Amino acid sequence: MEQQIIKIKNKHGVRVIPGFGLCIGVTLSMLGCLVLIPLASIFVSAAGLHFSEFIEVVTSRQVISGYVVSLSCAFSAALINAVFGMVLAWVLVRYEFPGKRLMDGLIELPFALPTSVAGIALTALYSDQGWIGALFARIGIKIAYTRIGITIAMVFVGIPFVVRAVQPVLEKLDRQYEEAAMMLGAGRMRTFFRVILPELFPALLAGFGLAFARGIGEYGSVVFIAGNIPNQTQIAPLLIMTKLEQYKYADATAIALVLLLISFLLMLLINSVQIYMQRFSKG
């Protein structure tokens, strides 16, 4: 009986748990049908494009401006999120105060709130007549329908990524090292920047990367507050949408392909950081 089960071997040892065939079959077929085959279509249709056409589409002024707006706003939003996400994670892990659980629960709101709802709510809040927008309008700063507005929407969707990446690492951090640093005479700032931050940095970077990637692809919460002024506040996903509405499928595919490549490169970067991080902590 046992010998029958132990007949499938590989280099890691003996495979005794039954069900490998079923599991790999279900996993691969669902992944293939629902994700990989549809995703392959974009490469199939991109292959049908002429190279000169492709270059012409993705280097047109409007499209370049779309990429620049998406990337620059997503980058600033991810930076803002890295700072505030760090503060939030710190407050949630290290301090006790009334309403802490409520605050912890609120962090995931951007995950749970549909992006179109977030989009119209932020627009109403930050437009010239909005509760906050009116305050800024008085000192001459327009938020909605500018790149500041786009950045704010991206901060909204990205904040949980940083908090949830940093929080578990901070919880596990051994406080002995801080105490030792403090006792050896390091000030609070120095302890934070020299002892705590280096430990948290990989997690912070991973959270930053996820927030950045989410910001680049974000559509729903951004389109309302962006105002979509050509060459100024049009984001790349919106350009894909516009081309689709004009039935210019080839153009949409070309823009999407470049955007996909950008996010893949970013994910690759995040993954290599995480692998490096694992080796570093194990080594």
Partner 1 sequence: MKKETEPDYKQDIAGDGIHSLQKVVEPHQDQGSLAVKYVLIGVSVLFLTLMLILPLAVVTANALREGWVVYRDTILNEYTVKALGLTVLATVAAVAVNTIFGIFAAYLLSKFYFRGRQVLAALIDLPFSISPVIAGLVFILTFGNIGWMGPFLKAHNIKIVFAVPGVILATIFVTFPFVFRELFPVLNAQGKDEEEAAALMGAGGFTIFWRITFPHIKWALLYGIILCTARAMGEFGAVSVISGHLRGKTNTLPLHVEILYNEFNTTAAFAVSSILVIMAVVILIARNLAQHRTGF
Site for partner 1 in 49-78 (CB under 8 A): none
Q: Of 64, 222, 75, 208, nearest to 153 (Cα)?
A: 222
Q: Which of 79, 132, 137, 273 binds partner 1 (CB under 8 A)?
A: 132
Q: Is 88 in the site for partner 1 (CB under 8 A)?
A: yes
Q: Is 218 in the site for partner 1 (CB under 8 A)?
A: yes
Q: Does residue 182 contact residue 191 with C-beta atoms inside 8 Å?
A: yes
Residue with tokens 């079923």: 22
In single-letter form, the type of residue at position 242 comes to T
Max distance between CA atoms of the chain, in angstroms, equals 82
State the binding string over 229-248 for partner 1 (x if CB under 8 A, else -): -------xxx-xx--x----
Q: How far is the CB of 83 from partner 1 (least distance, A)?
A: 10
Q: Is 280 in the site for partner 1 (CB under 8 A)?
A: no
Q: Which of 55, 64, 87, 134 binds partner 1 (CB under 8 A)?
A: 87
Q: Is 261 in the site for partner 1 (CB under 8 A)?
A: no
| Selected range binding partner 1 among 52-60, 136-144, 197-205, 256-264, rule: CB under 8 A | 256-264
| Selected range binding partner 1 among 54-62, 139-147, 148-156, 197-205, rule: CB under 8 A | 148-156
Size of the residue set binding partner 1 (CB under 8 A): 93
Q: Is 37 in the site for partner 1 (CB under 8 A)?
A: yes
Q: End-to-end distance of the chain based on CA atoms, in angstroms?
A: 41
Q: Is 137 in the site for partner 1 (CB under 8 A)?
A: no
Q: Is 23 in the site for partner 1 (CB under 8 A)?
A: yes
Strands, DSSP E only, in the chain? 9-10, 13-14
Q: Which of 58, 137, 260, 269 binds partner 1 (CB under 8 A)?
A: 260
Q: Of 80, 81, 122, 109, nearest to 226 (Cα)?
A: 122
Q: Is 224 in the site for partner 1 (CB under 8 A)?
A: yes
Cα–Cα distance measured from residue 212 to residue 54, given in angstroms and rounded to the nearest whole number: 26
Q: Is 213 in the site for partner 1 (CB under 8 A)?
A: yes
Cα–Cα distance measured from residue 103 to residue 21, given in angstroms and rounded to the nearest whole number: 45
Q: How far is the CB of 108 from partner 1 (least distance, A)?
A: 6
Cα–Cα distance measured from residue 166 to residue 156, given in angstroms and rounded to the nearest whole number: 17
| Selected range binding partner 1 among 61-69, 118-126, 138-146, 194-202, rule: CB under 8 A | 118-126
Q: Is the Cα torsion angle 66, 218, 263, 78 positive or negative in sign?
A: positive
Residue with tokens 């070309």: 254
Q: What 8-state DSSP symbol labels residue 127?
A: S
